[in-house]
Amino acid sequence: MNTDLLKYSGQGGCSAKIPPAKLEEILDRLPVAVDRDILVNIDTQDDAGVFRISDDLALVLTTDFFPPMVSDPYEFGEIAAANSISDVYAMGGTPALALNIMMFPSSDLPVEVLAGILEGGFDKASEAGVKIIGGHTIDDPVPKYGLAVTGFVKPQELITNSGARPGDKLILTKPVGSGIILAGHRLGMSDPRHHEEAKKWMKTLNAAGAGIMKRYGIKGATDITGFGLAGHTLKLAKASNVSANIFMGKVPIMEGTLGLAELGCIPGACFTNLEYAEKETYTDPQLDYNLRMIAFDSQTSGGLLISAPSGTADEILADLRKEVSLVSSVIGEVTTRREKLLYLSI
């Protein structure tokens, strides 16, 4: 019996999300709950919902799950858990509790595979200080895994999509390119070293970056996942009623990504994300086509995009490079609302 999880998945990780244009169409039809203690709902398409339970405490609630993007069950569990927990970090919260969400082909895969996925999720959640206290499993032809996570945040420390302000610098904490690297691996095109590096980044929690955001009182941020760097930056700009400039020459990119793109290894999710954002995006004609497509590459468990006031951006970047990664970089800036929401240049 073949236990390579990639054999059971066409699109894995966050590239399996419903296309952003279709998602917005669905969300526009949903009823919106109204309550004075709902601090964040679906209106701004934030990373999580937030409900105030007292003047000094609010719950951060999120869920995320997807099909495998790697072969190994334990690694799949680790990455899926890190991705689910990231939404709480992006909102300035402290993750605390979680429930497993599992779909599993019980007649096709041995129970040891299911156990391996859950073990990976448990260990990554434990690393984040999150206690998994239950869950739900159903039989399904394609394995899928993730978490429903609850965290806590002080209302005055809440970070949202709508908190970016003109003059802010945009800081990215992880490199992009995992979607292209994973697609290259499926096609036998990726260098194994680059594939291992991509998996390392996907397993890396955004905890340290979240701690730095809280230290400096950041108000605007998001994490970079299925809609790519460009798609999530556009959502940040739209929710904040600003425009954003991204300088692709300053964006940290995983080794091997550009080479694969130049060979034509550009996943379908890149084009789906581009289609969603194209009307609200200006692209400098001098920007290389492949760099442009990397901006729309779907990320799984990507980094934090932080909208940092210019007066503290250098200090924040120094702390990120010391406590998170040397690749953390200022990649753009926020301006007043212009004709387009997003501007991509070299």
The catalytic site residues sit at 14
C-alpha closest to that of 132 among 140, 143, 141, 121: 121
3-class secondary-structure state, position 281? strand
3-class secondary-structure state, position 199? helix
DSSP string for residues in 211-280? HHHHHTT--EEEE--TTHHHHHHHHHHHHHT-EEEEEGGGS-B-TTHHHHHHTT---HHHHHHHHHHGGG
**How do the residues of the chain divide into helix, strand and coil, expressed in percent and rounded to 5?**
45, 25, 35
Instruction: State the CB neighbour count (10 A cutoff) for residue 63.
Output: 16
C-alpha closest to that of 32 among 45, 15, 23, 19: 45
Q: Which two tokens stand for residue 239?
A: 């929710």
